[in-house]
Every structure is written in C-alpha cells, then in structure tokens.
Amino acid sequence: MTRQDIDNGTRRTPIVGVTSVPNRHEEATMPQEHPYVSEAKEGKPVCEWIVALLVCVSGILAAFGYTMAATALLAATAIVLGTMRIILRERSPWKVRSVAFDASMSLCFGVGVSLLDLSIRVML
C-alpha cells in the first residue's frame, strides 16, 4: 500500500501471482483526488445546531423518565425536517444528500420511531 492509497482511503488489492512495485516517479506525479465539498450546497449550521439542541432536550426528557415526550419530540423533529425538505427543495436549511433521500429518511425515521414507541406501549 502506498502513501497515496492511505491518503485517499483506498487500497490496492493484489492479483494472485502478480507482483508489482510502484514506480516512485509515477507516485509523485499522480494527481490527488479530493472529495467535492461545498458549504454552499450543504445545510445551514444554524438549522443543524437547532436539531442537535432538540435531540439533547429529547435525551434529557428521556433521562428524567418522560420517554413519551422524548419520543414525540424526536419524531416531530424528523417529520418537520422531512416535510420542510420536500417543500423548500434546494432552499431548505436541512440538507444531507438529495431531496428524495433526505425526505424519505427523515419521514421514515419519524414515523418509525412513533410506531416503535406505540408498539412498546401496546405490549406493556
């Protein structure tokens, strides 16, 4: 494994019976590929901090025994984020990946957590 493989997070898998030694000159002149990251295309940090605060409040509520309120807060946060992502599309302050991915993950998480809480309460 070369230094560039380590930097890029990739590994070369050797083919059985074939050995090769990388040429140092080729290694030094190979362009390094960096992942495309743009803050302009990502969500707004204020929205992310609000979500983090709501998750912390939910954890505190659960720690004090208010599990139904904690679950409802998590589910409501996820459902609001998913709905907001669908309505605002690219202008949404909550962006992770594509609109479809963000919306489906948020909505499914919100509904899933609600159903899980409901099913546990029914069993008790």
The pLDDT tens digits of the residues spanning 27-53 come to 555 556 665 555 556 667 788 899 999
| Tokens linked to 64 | 């004090």
SS3 content of the chain, % helix, strand, coil (to 5): 70, 0, 30
Rounded CA separation 72/80 (Å): 12
Q: Looking at the predicted structure, is the pLDDT value of residue 54 above 80? A: yes
pLDDT, tens only, 14-28? 555 555 555 555 555
What is the value of pTM for the model shown? 0.63
